[in-house]
Amino acid sequence: MTGNASSTIGQYLAARLTEIGVAHYFAVPGDYNLVLLDEVLKNPDLQMISCCNELNAGYAADGYARATGGAAAVFVTYSVGGLSLLNAVAGAYAEDLPLIAVSGGPNTNSTSEYELLHHTLGKVDYEYQREIFGRVTAEAVVIQHPKEAPYQIDQTISAALRHRKPVYLEIACNIANAPVSQPHPSSLRSVLPSDPKALDAAVAHATELVDGADKPVLVAGVKLRSSGAESAFMDLADALGCGVASMPNAKSFFDEQHAGYMGIYWGPVSSPGCSEIVESADLAIFAGPTFTDYTTTGRAALVDPARSIVVQPDSVVLKSQTYNQVNIADFLSALSRTIKANETSLSAFKRIREDTLSTERGAPDDPLTTRSLFSRIQAMLTGDSTVVAETGDSWFNGMRLDLPSGARFEIQMQYGSIGWSVGATLGYCLGSRDRKVLAMIGDGSFQLTAQEMSTMIRYGVKPIIFLINNGGYTIEVEIHDGPYNKIKNWNYAGLMEVFNAGDGKGRGWQAGTNGELDQAITEAQDHDGPALIEVVIDRDDCSKTLLTWGAHVAKNNGRPSRCLP
């Protein structure tokens, strides 16, 4: 590299994306980002994935970040594109995913020339998109001068990696191809280290509590993955030897074939026997949890702070004491080296455990049920499988799946934006082509984002999607029913031919009986392209867990206002 070598802003950004492991980016073009896209396309190590709309592109980036364990990037145009992307970025923020949202921006001269622009709110104020994104990103930056661009790009990408949150970069349309410095070597990934004194004090205090407990338990939380602490949690589980549960949004973050695994802790809708052990423990160590109305089943989970150690990405709370600047992976690893083994809670669980796995397959001519469907999905799972579960009854049925070692389970429980899984499945397949992706999507959710099936066909990804056709929004029915929960039926399987348009490899099947589903699965597994199996199930056929969970969430939502007389 010579001292006077130069790049352009778009090329600089593209080079930094490849440095952090991004190989694909998702894009929807518009006149404010066209020159920027031209510059990024010059990088041979990046592949552009053209999506049908900005929301779906954002969902795809979400899935890509989950698959790679790193960052994802999405490019849109100003305002009409950026604001369409916003919902997906908010979801990535809630789910701790480093999504780099890049928008084209107005010409740098537009403000000084008092120019009223298209695609805007109709006034000379171009800061609103950055201000809006500032609420759902770790950092939101507008680049308007080439000299500042390298620093701004590096700082913004570093913020995404450090905080495991989305960031926003807006690049003025007339400088995307402006010359800048070449990207020089830089360590963009910056994880804040633990304060040694705080770490030692936290570990000593925790060791005292764990060794003094009669029946401690471990509970895996969703922030284990975003903090890179899954292996450290496994070390602690091996060292302690107690019963281990996962919260619902952390399913697959702990090996379900591990000898200590008890199931999903979800308050009153936990795996059989799991809540009894967790809630009767005299010490529960929650690693990276989020205690929301969804994860606690409408606040019905009996989590006692006085009997808990709560470990978050950069802090540890032990009863009334808080230790800050303590990295979760550092803490779990250190604790695993200081504690004594205690198998009491695991022994208690083994005495009361129940076999929850459904093996109900039914006769070939019998109508399909959710039990017979999920028994077949269970049989399809291998160590290289990833299950993507859309918001709805797929959550609850998916929780009952027994995941082989190495299998992954993806869910958007914190944000719960229906339709997320279609784009996320596309992104996940591109981010990890060696995995077998099975998606479970309800008909109501699918109708929001169905067009991205055509992008799957276009780029040759090969998921098997189970489209559960039960005539509406089942999860909403169980929380609060009404005519708004019914939808217009589609010929879902037939859509694949529409999206193929004569040259694609997508294929659809419709199954209403067990025999039809068996035949469809056999053919889908041999198919060289995306497969959609429309599964027709009775509207009232939902999991018992959803009924219980829905009642608790409805009760929590329906608490009377304290402002009313």
In-domain check, residue 559: no
Phi (first) and psi of residue 311, to 5 degrees: -105, 115
* Domain range for 485: 370-544
Whether residues 119 and 233 fall in one domain: no
Residues 261 and 322 in one domain: yes
Specify burial of residue 513 (Cβ count, 10 A radius: 0-12, 13-18, 19+): middle
Q: Are residues 171 and 237 in the same domain?
A: no
Phi, psi torsion values for 261, nearest 5 degrees: -70, 130
Predicted local confidence at residue 186, as pLDDT:
81
Q: Where are any strands of DSSP class E within 288-340?
A: 308-312, 315-318, 321-324
**79: CATH:** 3.40.50.970
Element at 279 (helix H, strand E): helix 274-280
310: domain CATH number is 3.40.50.1220
Identify the segments of the chain with pLDDT beneath 70: 1-5, 190, 355-359, 472-481, 542-544, 547, 563-565
Together in a domain, 440 and 538: yes
Task: Answer yes or no: do 318 and 212 share one domain.
Answer: yes
Taking only the tens place, the pLDDT of each residue in 4-14 is: 568 999 999 99
Instruction: Answer yes or no: is 364 within a domain.
Output: no
Cβ within 8 Å of residue 379, ≥6 positions away: none
Residues 391 and 511 in one domain: yes
Residues 6+ apart with CB under 8 A from 327: 191, 192, 193, 194, 199, 227, 313, 314
Residue 470 in any domain: the answer is yes
Tokens of 59: 């969902």
The answer to whether position 125 is within a domain reads: yes
In a domain, 549, yes or no: no
Q: Do 212 and 347 fall within a single domain?
A: yes
State the total domains in the chain: 3
Q: Is 267 part of a structural domain of the chain?
A: yes
> Quick one: 305 and 412 in the same domain?
no
CA angle 546, 547, 549 (to 5 degrees): 60
Taking each helix axis from N to C terminus, what angle separates 420-431 and 82-94, rounded to the nearest 10 degrees?
80
Q: What is the pLDDT of residues 271-326, one digit of tens each?
A: 999 999 999 999 999 999 999 988 998 888 888 889 999 999 999 999 889 999 99
Question: Tokens for 550?
Answer: 């829905």
* pLDDT score, position 356: 57
Instruction: Assess contact for 173 and 32: CB atoms under 8 A.
Output: yes
